[in-house]
Structure 1
């Protein structure tokens, strides 16, 4: 992920920061931009080697207003952290964000509004959209279209013509990242248009949540032309998920049993949660892993410590030494070590931006004008923040900064095992 040269980025960003305590990482060491010199320091965002191939479609042009949602300090391709905070741990993710699930305060981030490819963390948007719509006790039949997934991609083991409770399908989605489960849930919640209607509803939900840099093409997160998100948007989506008791229960489930289908000669089998944060990190609440060759490793995780609930989102990670959940755990540790009032911005509330409702390419400045940032707003019942303004956000006009993700998707050896067969451990899933 490439942004502006460091000197130009700082020169443009520093005057526009509306949070007095928020500063770009490479400006924290002191010094002055006068005379053309900036303090030396580590790269604000670690970068993976430049990929050699193009994605199905490059991301849309960077929109200054969308990049300022939640605070002008977040409109950076680099690292933004509270003043005097310790340096965050080095990670390979090309973008990330840490936020408070309850207050909505953004504690820090790295390119929080940079476009990235979601992989299976997109299933959280499916959950945020469909959980309120679908009765978990209802028994449904899996169709041929549901199980028609990309060879080699993640599957829980649902079978065509099998009868399952919707709750079982949710567990298959969130524990094993089943792409056939995603198809079934999107179809069931999509109305007369089925799966296509489900994906359309996901995009409507993203817009209502304020995730204006998110566009879903597939229900599962399998790559598709024009499918993108951002670390900030993922935090909005995760917050919507964790506000729902059913999601909190499903995502924290360690093991579950998928019932057998006697008429189809399929025996019951057990599934385990792929998110190792649950087993390895004290206070873990759950989350979602993801992987495709285009997206690389993506991750969303949440944990509670001392009555404080934090969420971490990361995109475009490599795992030479640390898996995605381990990088997320390190960032959570960093966030929990910050003072409770630390913030560089905030997560907007559901529906807060709906009155502006501009398209991403036209009228976008209405999104940023007058929006509140800074200290988190008062929390309403249910955990959503209020919308009282504290500091106005100005749109930050920064030339460049659009990301050209150039990962192509390969088709690894099939991961779809026969029902009941164990799957090798994997930090992320294929789609």
Structure 2
């Protein structure tokens, strides 16, 4: 091995970076957030006066302007008493008696911590305040699709799939995709193109949205109305921290959902060249990575769902397990300052795990809305060691390779120094 001058320095720098990346869990290899920089300092809005009791905050763009001939739906009725218990009708911080102060640096306007298994709500802020869900509404689409579509069915990608707005995983016209792969793209990478392909099989966007809203009503999610399958903003769209927590808990009863939110990377198919474009070439398959940074950086993370639009800001739903207890966290209208949403989620999960086991301020609904408790046995993701080969070849394999590269760089330095010293002697 021959390393000289700047080559040695480059090797050392590369080795150090690679080794550091391996030690930190490969976070540097994860996809960037849709909005990673904010220029205006942000503080948590005060919700004590219930500003979002009936509708989300005013939009900042024209995404919710109804189509010609249509009107914006009226706000959903506000249930009285509040679903989940009287305390959840409060709009500010809702904490158990004697609970410590909530963590600092939480810029999310509304949030809720719940026990995934028992349905108990441990703590919240503006739990029934109405906000936009962004891609977290894909929880409802995922439930509908997983319960109505054959996962082994293979569909052909269309130009309409590829042309959808927002985040796309990379579906191409003529590509062949199983519904299982579309679910991977939907849940792991938040692909709006995958949402379109799944909605098409459910009868189209309008039919899929109708099924999502029927599901919301059946789960007693009375603050929630989907306007698009993907979570792109539309007229009348709304949800609450309470409703998203209940939707996430329902999704966790489906084993494949629990598995996919816990999966770090999978291979995804490519698609053929367009014969109408002479210079086009076949598009090879690629690897998609889970976009939830909590999964890579929080001990016991089970996974979750991220979301972002200009109107909704950052939204987040996730869960983690510690000492046999599983807690979920939902954030709505969050910002990346002073810390990123997944870090805010981590602090609130720590807060929830530190509360006494009997601490609660309310409960998530069961299917009939009458009492807390699972709607079905709750699923757990498979252990990392038992994951599918595609998942095993994801970040775990990358970390091992990066660590090996760092060690090789260190070995090169040792050999170089030894040779130089020997010549000087």
Q: TM-score, normalised by structure 2?
A: 0.69
- Is the CA contact (8 Å cut-off) linking 2:47 and 2:126 kept in structure 1? no
Please state whether the residue corresponding to 1:325 is helix, strand or coil: helix
- Is the CA contact (8 Å cut-off) linking 1:187 and 1:196 kept in structure 2? no
The answer on 1:217 being equivalent to 2:227 is yes
- Is the CA contact (8 Å cut-off) linking 2:64 and 2:234 kept in structure 1? yes
* Alignment correspondent of 1:171: 184
Deviation at 1:65, TM superposition (A): 1.8
- Is the CA contact (8 Å cut-off) linking 2:366 and 2:374 kept in structure 1? no
The 2-side partners of 1:166 and 1:380 are apart by: 25
- Is the CA contact (8 Å cut-off) linking 2:76 and 2:222 kept in structure 1? no
* Alignment correspondent of 1:309: 326
Deviation at 1:148, TM superposition (A): 2.6
Q: How many residue pairs get matched?
A: 315
Deviation at 1:88, TM superposition (A): 1.5
- Is the CA contact (8 Å cut-off) linking 1:103 and 1:383 kept in structure 2? no
The 2-side partners of 1:114 and 1:253 are apart by: 31
The 1-side partners of 2:164 and 2:81 are apart by: 34
Q: Deviations over 1:204-223 (max 9, x none)?
A: 01111111111111100011
The 2-side partners of 1:307 and 1:98 are apart by: 16
- Is the CA contact (8 Å cut-off) linking 2:161 and 2:172 kept in structure 1? no
The answer on 1:86 being equivalent to 2:100 is yes
Work out which of the residue numbers 279, 285, 294 in structure 1 matches 2:302.
285
Shift in alpha-carbon separation, 1:61–1:181, aligned structure 2, 3 A: closer
Q: Which runs of 5+ in 2 are unaligned?
A: 1-44, 51-56, 66-71, 275-281, 380-425
* Alignment correspondent of 1:273: 290
Q: Deviations over 1:145-175 (max 9, x none)?
A: 322312xx10100102211111111111112
* Alignment correspondent of 2:33: none
Q: Which moved more, 1:279-288 or 1:50-59?
A: 50-59
Q: Deviations over 1:205-243 (max 9, x none)?
A: 111111111111110001111111100000011001111
Please state whether the residue corresponding to 2:266 is helix, strand or coil: strand
Shift in alpha-carbon separation, 1:239–1:183, aligned structure 2, 3 A: same
Q: Deviations over 1:255-302 (max 9, x none)?
A: 011123356611011111110111100110010111111001111110
* Alignment correspondent of 1:157: 170
Work out which of the residue numbers 335, 352, 370 in structure 1 matches 2:352.
335
The answer on 1:382 being equivalent to 2:377 is yes
The 2-side partners of 1:110 and 1:59 are apart by: 26
Larger radius of gyration: 2
Shift in alpha-carbon separation, 1:171–1:313, aligned structure 2, 3 A: same
Please state whether the residue corresponding to 1:65 is helix, strand or coil: coil
Work out which of the residue numbers 332, 340, 356 in structure 2 matches 1:323.
340
* Alignment correspondent of 1:187: 200
The 4+ residue runs of structure 1 with deviation greater than 6 A are: 49-55
- Is the CA contact (8 Å cut-off) linking 1:67 and 1:113 kept in structure 2? no
Please state whether the residue corresponding to 2:147 is helix, strand or coil: coil
* Alignment correspondent of 1:402: none
Please state whether the residue corresponding to 1:103 is helix, strand or coil: coil
